[in-house]
Every structure is written in structure tokens, then in C-alpha cells.
Amino acid sequence: MNGQWTVRRDGSSSRAEFPTAQAAIDAFADGEFAGTDEVAGPNETRFRSFESHPVFEETVAELEAPLPEPEEETHLDMNPMIDVSLVLLIFFILTATYATLRRTVELPAEPPEESQKAAAIPKLKEIQDKVFKVIVRVEAEQVVVRIEGRLVELDKLEAEMTEQVKRFGKPEAFIDVGPGVLWGTEVKIIEACRGAEVRRIHWPKSK
């Protein structure tokens, strides 16, 4: 492999000289020449391409062998799945909220004329045996609550109502709220009725 080696580029008249075949191979490996460029040895009169020259063809085949393609990694795109999950979650939340609201605020269908008559508000004298009266007024800029004529503080309403229900056997309440009483006070009275297990609350006709 010693001696002068001549390399000429494919399609060009320019030439390069190398003292040994190994030097020509190194230049090829460095990318100075392509497989189609021609080379001739010291005692050769005919140029042949690197690819077909018996001295270089094996080395060229190794150097020009294509690199193995990397294996494609299995990749699962989670974004569509997350989007669908969020849509389903929002749908279930809205459905559950609507169902709960419907159960809470469900309005009965319009009753027939006979049912309307039966649902008429009874007069106080008709139910006075089973109700205890709660009178709420504003006196001297203060809210005053009386149960059966007895003055009761707001924080003791439930205890007094419980006594009316269990001791005196009056399971229903008749609540008369005067003008100027805030709605928050009425809410406290209603909550006290609920805690005392009052079965029904009656209001004046104007209420």
C-alpha cells in the first residue's frame, strides 16, 4: 500500500497526491472525497472510483453504511384524554347541581279547584288549639319577640318553642311579624322552629 496514490474528483480535472493508500483512506474518511471520486495506485494506469477499487471498496462500504434509524419511542399524547375528562367532569357537576336544585325548588303542578280550596289558609280561631303564637314587633328601636305573650330573647327561642311543642302539645306555630323587622330576625325564628321540631308554620293572610 506504499507508493504514490493519485485521487481526482469526479467530474473535475484537479488531482491530489498521497504517499500511501492509508493517507488516501484517511482523507476519504475526513470527508475530503466521495465514493464516486477516482483513485489510481502507483503502478496503475486507470483510475477507478473509491467504491470499485479493490483496495478501498471494503473501507468505503463501511464508512458509507447508513446509520441505523433510531427506534420510535411509544408516546401516548395525554392532552386529548385530559380534555375529555375535564368536559365529562364539568358535565357531571352541572347535572348534579341541577338535579339538587330541582329537588330543592321543585314547584308542584297547579292543583285543581278543589285542592286550591282545601289549601286555603285557615283562620286563627280554627287552629288556636294546636298552635302557639309568636308575635314579633319593633319597640323602642329594638326587636321584641313574645311567645304566648311571654317575652323571649332571640337566643332562647328554640328552648321556649320546644316547651310549647312537647309540654303544651302545640306542634304548630302562628308567627305574626310586624313592620320594620329585618328578614334576618325572621330567619332566626324559622330556624328555631325547625330546631324545636315545629311541624307547620302559619302566617297572617297579609304575610
Indicate the CATH number for domain 123-202: 3.30.420
The model's pLDDT over 7-16, given as tens digits with 9 standing for 90+, comes to 877 766 777 8
Whether the Cβ atoms of residue 44 and residue 8 lie closer than 8 Å to each other: no
Of residues 149 and 62, more confidence is placed in 149
pLDDT at residue number 69:
64
d(CA 123, CA 193): 20
pLDDT band at 62 (very low <50, low <70, confident <90, very high): confident
In this predicted model, what pLDDT tens digit does every residue of 80-131 receive, in sequence order? 889 889 999 998 888 877 666 555 544 455 555 554 554 556 676 677 778 8
Q: CA 158: distance to chain centroid?
A: 43
Residue-wise pLDDT tens digits, 30-39? 877 777 788 7
Portion of the chain with pLDDT greater than 90, in percent = 5
* SS3 letters across 77-109: CCHHHHHHHHHHHHHHHHHHHHHHHHHHCCCCC
Least confident of 20-34, 145-159, 172-186, 190-204: 20-34
Residue 203, pLDDT > 80, answer: yes
Strands 150-152 and 142-147: antiparallel
Instruction: Tell me the average pLDDT of the chain.
Output: 78
Phi and psi (nearest 5°) for 106?
-65, 125
- Tell me, rounded to whole angstroms, the distance of Cα 190 from its chain centroid: 38
Q: Which three cell numbers stand for residue 165?
A: 311543642
Least reliable range by pLDDT among 22-26, 72-76, 198-202: 72-76
Q: What is the pLDDT of residue 107?
A: 47
- The C-alpha cell at 22 is 492509508
Checking if the pLDDT of 1 tops 50, the result is: no
**Cβ–Cβ < 8 Å for 4, 17:** yes
Nearest to 35 by CA among 62, 72, 6: 62
What is residue 137's predicted lDDT score, i.e. its pLDDT? 92
Q: pLDDT tens across 150-165, in order?
A: 898 888 888 988 988 8
Question: Structural domain boundaries of the chain?
Answer: 2-63, 123-202
The residue with greater pLDDT, 96 or 201, is: 201
